[in-house]
């Protein structure tokens, strides 16, 4: 899956997906700040955002250590740590300016806890037409949950209000190898066999890419009642020296509140537990067999 992502994303096939995400982030965070990418994968989208925000830092969390090795090298101001995003995040309360969630599971309560009063959550997810041609060629691919938007609204409603949504929909030509890589970088890769990718599998041709990018903010009452922190970069204290690509874990190379030097390329700190509120089965999580 990691190799497929590196190969396909390097072709620029998803560049139109990254553009609205980057544009929205730059609009809400024009200067310094902390951008956290939840479920960051190889760091492709995080790197695109940091390219346009010279004053921002960009840590990413993901469960895949293999993917994080790429994410930690994706940008000089990127850092990465292995973390189950359904657990409380290793982030200090109210210290993150922008949270990114691109094709990843969602934990609304933790997004809410870690964001500043003026922070934004940007969620990118596929809609029904996304990769429809490939799903027609490879029946074993997982499908798009038809209730995705309702689930998203139910899960995020208690914490956030929508500030705006942009759609990116386009067709792009694929070679056979690009089609295989695109299938292989999706959640479908966990369910497919070699036979699914044989000569009768993904074929060269046009494919539709269709996603929504929604920017959400805390409600007006939340912004008025929250107290701003005086530690602008306390959410994540990486020693971003030489872009070493080392993947950190919580309690490894952490900085204390006094600011002692960290020993690894990534340090994380957490002060409160916070609620989960994650989108699990029966609580807003996609049923088995659906793409997030």
Read off φ and ψ for residue 273, nearest 5 degrees.
-80, -50
pLDDT of residue 225: 53
**190-201 residues labelled b (16+ CB within 10 A) or e (exposed):** eebeeebbeeeb
Which pLDDT tens digit goes with each residue over 190-201? 777 777 777 677
Of 37-46, 76-85, 135-144, the least confident:
135-144
Mean pLDDT across the stretch 278-288? 36
Mean pLDDT across the stretch 259-278? 33
What share of the chain in percent tops pLDDT 90?
A: 51
Q: Enumerate residues 6+ apart whose C-beta is below 8 A from 173.
A: 204, 205, 206
Which pLDDT tens digit goes with each residue over 76-104? 999 999 999 999 999 999 999 999 999 99
Q: Which two tokens stand for residue 55?
A: 């004053």
pLDDT of residue 197: 75
* Nearest 10 degrees: Cα torsion 28, 30, 32, 38: 40
Q: Which of 51, 162, 159 is nearest to 114 (CA)?
A: 159
- Burial label for 258, CB within 10 Å (0-12, 13-18, 19+), is exposed
pLDDT of residue 222: 55
Q: Which of 141, 130, 186, 128 is nearest to 16 (CA)?
A: 130
CA distance 291 to 58: 26
Of 47-51, 108-112, 152-156, the least confident:
152-156
Q: Enumerate residues 6+ apart whose C-beta is below 8 A from 125.
A: 103, 148, 152, 211, 212, 292
Query: If you ran DSSP here, which 8-state letter would residue 198 be given?
Result: S
- Tell me which residue has tokens 């038809």: 146
Q: Indicate whether 215 pLDDT > 50.
A: yes
Instruction: Classify strands 290-291 and 143-144 as parallel, antiparallel or unpaired.
Output: parallel
Q: pTM, whole model, 2 decimals?
A: 0.77
141 by DSSP, 3-state: which?
A: coil
Q: Set out the domains of the chain in order of their start, with CATH numbers.
A: 2-132+142-174+210-291 (3.40.50.150)
Which pLDDT tens digit goes with each residue over 25-35? 998 887 789 99
């Amino acid at each position: 899956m990691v190799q497929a992502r590196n190969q396909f994303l390097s072709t620029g096939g998803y560049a139109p997906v990254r553009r609205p995400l980057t544009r929205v982030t730059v609009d809400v965070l024009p200067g310094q700040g902390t951008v956290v990418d939840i479920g960051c994968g190889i760091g492709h989208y995080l790197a695109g955002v940091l390219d346009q925000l010279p004053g921002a830092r960009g840590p990413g969390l993901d469960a895949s250590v293999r993917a994080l090795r790429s994410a930690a090298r994706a940008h000089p101001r990127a850092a990465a740590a292995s973390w189950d995003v359904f657990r409380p995040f290793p982030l200090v309360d109210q210290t993150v300016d922008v949270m990114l969630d691109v094709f990843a599971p969602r934990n609304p309560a933790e997004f809410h806890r870690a964001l500043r009063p003026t922070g934004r959550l940007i969620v990118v997810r596929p809609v029904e037409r996304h990769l429809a041609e490939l799903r027609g060629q490879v029946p074993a691919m997982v499908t798009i949950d038809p209730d995705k938007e309702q689930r998203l609204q139910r899960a995020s409603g208690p914490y956030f209000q929508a500030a705006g949504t942009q759609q990116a929909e386009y067709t792009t030509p694929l070679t056979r190898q690009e089609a295989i890589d695109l299938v292989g970088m999706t959640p479908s890769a966990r369910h497919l066999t070699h036979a699914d990718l044989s000569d009768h599998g993904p074929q060269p041709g046009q494919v539709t890419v269709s996603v929504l990018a929604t920017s959400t903010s805390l409600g007006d009452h939340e912004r008025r009642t929250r107290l701003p922190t005086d530690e602008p970069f306390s959410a994540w204290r990486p020693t971003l020296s030489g872009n070493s690509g080392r993947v950190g874990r919580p309690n490894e190379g952490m900085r204390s509140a006094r600011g002692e030097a960290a020993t690894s390329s990534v340090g994380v700190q957490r002060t409160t537990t916070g609620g989960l509120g994650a989108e699990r089965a029966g609580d807003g999580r996609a049923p088995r067999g659906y793409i997030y």
